[in-house]
Amino acid sequence: MNSRISRRRFVTGAAAASILAGCDSRPVISFLRAMKDWNAGFEAALFSPSRLAPELPESATTPEDDFPEYFISDEAPDVPPIWFLSVGGLVDRPRQFKLAELQAMAQTSMRVRHHCVEGWSAVASWQGLRVSELARAAGLKQGVRYVEFRSFDSGYWSCWDLASAMHPQTLLAWGMNGHPLTSGHGAPLRVYSAVKLGYKMCKYLAEVNFLPHNSGGYWENQGYDWFAGV
Amino acid sequence: MAASAESASNLRRQQPLPIRIVHWCNALIIVLMAGSGLQILIAYPYLGPRGALYGWYPLQGVAPPGWLTVGGWLAGGRRWHFAIAWFFVINGLIYLAYLAGSGEWRRRIFNPKRDARAAVAQFFYYARIRKQPPPRDFYNGLQRLAYTSIILIGVAMALSGLAIYKPVQFHLLTRLFGGYDGARVVHLAGLAMIALFVAAHVVLVALHPKEILAMVTGGKRE
């Protein structure tokens, strides 16, 4: 992000703030947009690639019936008869992975707190492969700055900054609390991360693309924060 | 020396210009922060994590009414809240810097040695237990207590807000509030205290309209 431009936008925003009138007037809208961009830069600056979310004891686990299951299709999407994960974009070795192939690469397990944009939190343990390990297997080319996760849940997707995707607590998870993902939680494979809000963690995963540009996201394009770090 | 410093401060207006500007900016900021905060609360009007809601909280599931909210929906409320939060903090820092730099803090900030007894006496006077108002100088003891407490509550709001905003990046701060859900409790309790303060403040200045005028024109030089 160009900090000189965002600073200039911030000053413009401050000027607009002083003439706050109606909520839908043009200066108010451009003020809010400028502050949104400023805050995205602020969030990226606060993010530390090495700072870990605290791991929690098993006793902190939320009863699974109380852990909400969100998807955008009318019902939890069924796994397609032939499922694989497509890995592409600016990579040396684009390819398709069967679940067992991903599981054979490495496994990480972590129990961390989940933060939803709505304000609730919940705790589970998650088992999966670090996105950074998938990136190493795929071989990132010069110019990759974003990682796009795409699902088979009515086209839901979310695009991430590369640094958050490479965080050691960002996984492609196939397990929750030691068992395979249930359909409500994104079976067979989902993104799970300790450093983002829930809506960034694309469930029902179908594709991972390493991109030079930001492709937005399902909720992000409707007005929710794009960076959405915690 | 002491005498000339004394007379200089005697020439100071009741409400110097920087305080008036910060005050009216703050009034707008508080309305927008409270309204957008309530909009965010509507998305999950509970306290406590999923599966372990706090039993002591009497308003579980009670959402604030829409007419109190700013932003229209969750994403709009968040956008307002995180935009105006900067101005809340900057405005507050300007206020504190001015208090410290100008010496205004001496006649405004609660000093237990000077004001504790006067605050109790003032409370008894308001409660009609005491007939005569206790002697006051620039502010009475209860005013100093209220105006100082609300500064501390403002600081707690900024810190608990940061703890909710970035519970992983600021996880030590978040732990200070008893974790993410503890920080939400502090943040909502702070809003309740600010609402009480504003209600009392508005009633009391309505009873003493000269004070409203002073916050606009500066008032007489004291």
- In the predicted model, is pLDDT for residue B50 greater than 70? yes
- Is B133 inside any structural domain? no
Answer yes or no: do B44 and A195 touch at CB < 8 A.
no
Q: Using 50, 70 and 90 to split pLDDT, how confident is the model at A14?
A: very low
- Is B45 inside any structural domain? yes
Q: Using 50, 70 and 90 to split pLDDT, how confident is the model at B4?
A: very low
Percent of the residues in chain B that have a pLDDT greater than 70, as a whole number? 95
| Residue A11 or B104, more confident | B104
Q: Which of A190-194, B107-111, B153-157 has the lowest mean pLDDT?
A: B107-111
DSSP state of A169: T
- In the predicted model, is pLDDT for residue A6 greater than 60? no
**Closest CA in chain A for residue B165:** A230
- So what's the pLDDT on residue B1? 40
How many beta-carbon contacts under 8 Å exist across A and B? 93
- In the predicted model, is pLDDT for residue B120 greater than 60? yes
- Is B132 inside any structural domain? no
- In the predicted model, is pLDDT for residue A2 greater than 90? no
Mean pLDDT across chain A: 92
Which chain A positions have a beta carbon within 8 Å of B40's beta carbon? 119
β-strand partners of A113: A123
The stretch A25-54 carries a mean pLDDT of 96
Q: Are A111 and A55 in contact (CB under 8 A)?
A: yes
Mutate to test the interface with A, among B53, B86, B168, B169 (most CBs of A within 10 A): B168
Answer yes or no: do A195 and B168 touch at CB < 8 A.
yes
Q: How far apart are the first and last CA of chain A?
A: 19
Which chain A positions have a beta carbon within 8 Å of B86's beta carbon? 35, 38
Q: Are B90 and B25 in contact (CB under 8 A)?
A: no
Answer yes or no: do A20 and B79 touch at CB < 8 A.
no
Mutate to test the interface with B, among A36, A67, A121 (most CBs of B within 10 A): A121
Radius of gyration, alpha carbons of chain A: 19
pLDDT tens readout for residues A110-132? 999 999 999 999 999 999 999 99
Any B CB within 8 A of A115 CB? yes
Q: Are A185 and A110 in contact (CB under 8 A)?
A: no
**Closest CA in chain B for residue A65:** B51
Per-position DSSP letters for A4-22, written without gaps between them:
HHHHHHHHHHHHHHTT--S
pLDDT tens readout for residues B173-211? 999 999 999 999 999 999 999 999 999 999 999 999 999
Answer yes or no: do A39 and B70 touch at CB < 8 A.
no
**Closest CA in chain B for residue A61:** B51
Answer yes or no: do A46 and B169 touch at CB < 8 A.
yes
Any B CB within 8 A of A44 CB? no
Q: Using 50, 70 and 90 to split pLDDT, how confident is the model at B222?
A: confident
- In the predicted model, is pLDDT for residue A24 greater than 80? no
- In the predicted model, is pLDDT for residue A137 greater than 90? yes
Answer yes or no: do A230 and B181 touch at CB < 8 A.
no
Q: Using 50, 70 and 90 to split pLDDT, how confident is the model at A90?
A: very high
Q: Using 50, 70 and 90 to split pLDDT, how confident is the model at A9?
A: low
| Residue B149 or B135, more confident | B149
Answer yes or no: do B83 and A31 touch at CB < 8 A.
yes
Domain extent for B73: 15-102
Which chain A positions have a beta carbon within 8 Å of B167's beta carbon? 113, 115, 230
- So what's the pLDDT on residue B179? 97
DSSP E strands in B14-112: the ranges are none
Answer yes or no: do B75 and A222 touch at CB < 8 A.
yes
CA pair distance A25, A38, nearest whole angstrom: 20
Q: How far is B106 from chain A (nearest CA, A)?
A: 31
Any A CB within 8 A of B79 CB? yes
Q: Which of A64, A93, A78, A178 is nearest to A128 (CA)?
A: A178
CA pair distance A210, A87, nearest whole angstrom: 8
> H/E element holding A122?
strand A121-130
Which residues make Cβ contacts (< 8 Å) with residue A111, sequence separation at least 6? A55, A56, A57, A58, A60, A61, A123, A124, A125, A126
Specify the pTM: 0.90
- How many structural domains comprise chain B? 1
Mean pLDDT across chain B: 93
- In the predicted model, is pLDDT for residue B97 greater than 60? yes
Domain A58-222, CATH homologous superfamily name and number? Oxidoreductase, molybdopterin-binding domain (3.90.420.10)
Listed by start position, the domains of chain A span 3-46, 58-222
The stretch A220-224 carries a mean pLDDT of 96
Answer yes or no: do A54 and B80 touch at CB < 8 A.
no
The stretch B77-106 carries a mean pLDDT of 97
Q: Using 50, 70 and 90 to split pLDDT, how confident is the model at A23?
A: low
pLDDT tens readout for residues A153-209? 999 999 999 999 999 999 999 999 999 999 999 999 999 999 999 999 999 999 999
The stretch A138-147 carries a mean pLDDT of 98
Please list the alpha-helical segments (H only) found in B44-176. 74-102, 105-108, 112-126, 141-165, 171-176
- So what's the pLDDT on residue B134? 87
- Is B149 inside any structural domain? no
- So what's the pLDDT on residue A171? 98
Which chain B positions have a beta carbon within 8 Å of A219's beta carbon? 75
Q: Which of A172-176, A201-205, B87-91, B116-120 has the lowest mean pLDDT?
A: B116-120
DSSP state of B170: T
Q: Using 50, 70 and 90 to split pLDDT, how confident is the model at B2?
A: very low
Any B CB within 8 A of A66 CB? yes
Looking at chain B from residue 150 to 189, which residues have their Cβ under 8 Å from any Cβ of chain A? 166-169, 171, 175, 179-181, 184
- Is B205 inside any structural domain? no
The stretch B149-166 carries a mean pLDDT of 98
Q: Which of A136, A160, A170, A139 is nearest to A213 (CA)?
A: A160
CA pair distance A157, B89, nearest whole angstrom: 35
A78: phi then psi, degrees, rounded to nearest 5: -80, 150
Helix A3-17, helix A26-46: angle, nearest 10? 140
Q: What is the ipTM of this complex?
A: 0.89
Answer yes or no: do B50 and A31 touch at CB < 8 A.
no
